[in-house]
Chain A
Amino acid sequence: MKYFAKKLAGLIATLLVVSFLVFLAFAVIPGDPATAMLGTEATPARVEALREELGLNAPLIERYAKWIADFVRGDMGTSYSYHMAVTEMIADKIPVTLALTAISFFLIVVISIPLGITCARYMDGALDHIIVVANQVIMAVPPFFSGILITLVFGLVLHLFTPGGYVSYRTDWARFLGYMFFPALAIALPKIAMSTKLLRTSVLSEMKADYVRTAYSRGNGTRAVLYRHVLKNALIPVVTFLGMALSDMVAGSIIVEQVFNVPGLGRILLTSISNRDYPVVQAIIVCIAFLVILINFLVDLLYKLVDPRITME
Chain B
Amino acid sequence: MKKKRSKNFTAGAILTGVMLLFVLVGFFWTPYDPETMDKSVKLAGVSFAHPMGCDNFGRDILSRVLKGSGTTFLVAVGTVAIGTLCGTVLGAFTGYFGGIVDEVFMRINDALFAFPSILLGLVFISLLGSGKYNVIVALGIAFVPSFARIVRGEFIRCKNLDYVRSAKLAGAGDLRIMFVHILPNILTVLSSSVMIGFNNAVLAEAGMSYLGIGVQPPDASLGRMLSEAQTYLFSAPGYALFPGIVLILMVLGFSLLSEGLKE
Please determine whether B111 and A21 come into contact, CB atoms closer than 8 angstroms. Answer: yes
- Residue of A whose beta carbon sits closest to that of B119: A251
Expressed in whole angstroms, the minimum distance between the Cβ of B146 and any Cβ of chain A is 12
Known: A137-B248, A254-B118. A270 touches B213 (CB 8 A): yes
Q: Does A259 contact B (CB under 8 A)?
A: yes
Please determine whether B248 and A258 come into contact, CB atoms closer than 8 angstroms. Answer: no
Expressed in whole angstroms, the minimum distance between the Cβ of A284 and any Cβ of chain B is 10
Q: Mark A123-154, 1 if CB is under 8 A from B, else 0.
A: 00000000000001101111011001101100
By a CB distance below 8 angstroms, the chain B residues around A296 are 114
Expressed in whole angstroms, the minimum distance between the Cβ of B117 and any Cβ of chain A is 8
- Residue of A whose beta carbon sits closest to that of B11: A136
Expressed in whole angstroms, the minimum distance between the Cβ of A142 and any Cβ of chain B is 5
Q: Does A180 contact B (CB under 8 A)?
A: no
Please determine whether A289 and B247 come into contact, CB atoms closer than 8 angstroms. Answer: no
By a CB distance below 8 angstroms, the chain A residues around B108 are 17, 21
By a CB distance below 8 angstroms, the chain B residues around A103 are none
By a CB distance below 8 angstroms, the chain A residues around B230 are 148, 151, 259
Please determine whether A25 and B123 come into contact, CB atoms closer than 8 angstroms. Answer: yes
Q: Does B234 contact A (CB under 8 A)?
A: yes
Expressed in whole angstroms, the minimum distance between the Cβ of A204 and any Cβ of chain B is 9
Known: A142-B206, A281-B126. A14 touches B111 (CB 8 A): yes
What does DSSP make chain B's interface, helix, strand, loop or mixed?
A: helix
Please determine whether B127 and A145 come into contact, CB atoms closer than 8 angstroms. Answer: no
Interface size class of B (residues with CB under 8 A): 35 or more
By a CB distance below 8 angstroms, the chain A residues around B114 are 14, 18, 247, 289, 292-293, 296
Q: Mark B4-22, 1 if CB is under 8 A from A, else 0.
A: 0000000000000000000
Known: A148-B233, A273-B125, A276-B126. A140 touches B252 (CB 8 A): yes
By a CB distance below 8 angstroms, the chain B residues around A151 are 230, 233
Count of A-B contacts with CB under 8 A?
A: 109
Please determine whether B115 and A273 come into contact, CB atoms closer than 8 angstroms. Answer: no
Expressed in whole angstroms, the minimum distance between the Cβ of A289 and any Cβ of chain B is 6
Question: Which of A13, A29, A136, A250 has its CB near the most chain B CB atoms (within 10 A)?
Answer: A136
Q: Mark A239-252, 1 if CB is under 8 A from B, else 0.
A: 00000000110111
Question: Residue B248 contacts which of A17, A18, A145, A270 (CB distance < 8 angstroms)?
Answer: A145
Q: Does A56 contact B (CB under 8 A)?
A: no
Expressed in whole angstroms, the minimum distance between the Cβ of B217 and any Cβ of chain A is 15
Within 8 A of B (CB), among A264-293: 269-270, 272-274, 276, 278, 281, 285, 288-289, 292-293
- Residue of B whose beta carbon sits closest to that of A30: B127
Expressed in whole angstroms, the minimum distance between the Cβ of A268 and any Cβ of chain B is 13
Known: A17-B108, A21-B112, A156-B233. A273 touches B122 (CB 8 A): yes
By a CB distance below 8 angstroms, the chain A residues around B227 are 258
Number of interface residues of A (CB under 8 A): 45
What is the bound-complex CA distance between A296 and B244, given in angstroms? Answer: 32
Q: Does B25 contact A (CB under 8 A)?
A: no
By a CB distance below 8 angstroms, the chain B residues around A68 are none
Known: A151-B233, A273-B125. A139 touches B255 (CB 8 A): yes
By a CB distance below 8 angstroms, the chain B residues around A148 are 226, 229-230, 233, 240, 244
Q: Does B211 contact A (CB under 8 A)?
A: yes
Expressed in whole angstroms, the minimum distance between the Cβ of B97 and any Cβ of chain A is 22
Please determine whether B123 and A144 come into contact, CB atoms closer than 8 angstroms. Answer: no
Within 8 A of A (CB), among B205-245: 206-207, 210-213, 223, 226-227, 229-230, 233-234, 237, 240, 244
What is the bound-complex CA distance between A292 and B251, given in angstroms? Answer: 26
Question: Residue A247 contacts which of B116, B210, B212, B213 (CB distance < 8 angstroms)?
Answer: B116
Known: A17-B107, A22-B123. A250 touches B116 (CB 8 A): yes
Please determine whether A136 and B115 come into contact, CB atoms closer than 8 angstroms. Answer: no
What is the bound-complex CA distance between A53 and B2, given in angstroms? Answer: 68
Q: Does B135 contact A (CB under 8 A)?
A: no
By a CB distance below 8 angstroms, the chain A residues around B207 are 142, 144, 255
Please determine whether B116 and A251 come into contact, CB atoms closer than 8 angstroms. Answer: yes
Please determine whether A142 and B122 come into contact, CB atoms closer than 8 angstroms. Answer: no
By a CB distance below 8 angstroms, the chain A residues around B107 are 13, 17
Within 8 A of A (CB), among B111-154: 111-112, 114-116, 118-119, 122-123, 125-127
Given A144-B207, A144-B210, 9 other A-B residues pairs in contact with their CB atoms under 8 A: A17-B108, A148-B244, A152-B237, A251-B118, A254-B118, A258-B227, A276-B126, A281-B123, A285-B122
Which 6 A-B pairs have CB atoms at the shortest separation, nearest pair first?
Answer: A251-B116, A140-B252, A140-B251, A17-B111, A273-B126, A145-B244
Interface residues of B (CB under 8 A from A): 107-108, 110-112, 114-116, 118-119, 122-123, 125-127, 199, 203, 206-207, 210-213, 223, 226-227, 229-230, 233-234, 237, 240, 244, 247-249, 251-252, 255-256
> 15 A-B pairs, CB-CB below 8 angstroms?
A14-B114, A136-B255, A140-B248, A140-B251, A142-B206, A144-B226, A148-B226, A148-B244, A151-B230, A259-B230, A269-B122, A270-B213, A273-B213, A276-B126, A281-B123
Interface residues of A (CB under 8 A from B): 13-14, 17-18, 21-22, 25-26, 29, 136-137, 139-142, 144-145, 148-149, 151-152, 156, 247-248, 250-252, 254-255, 258-259, 269-270, 272-274, 276, 278, 281, 285, 288-289, 292-293, 296
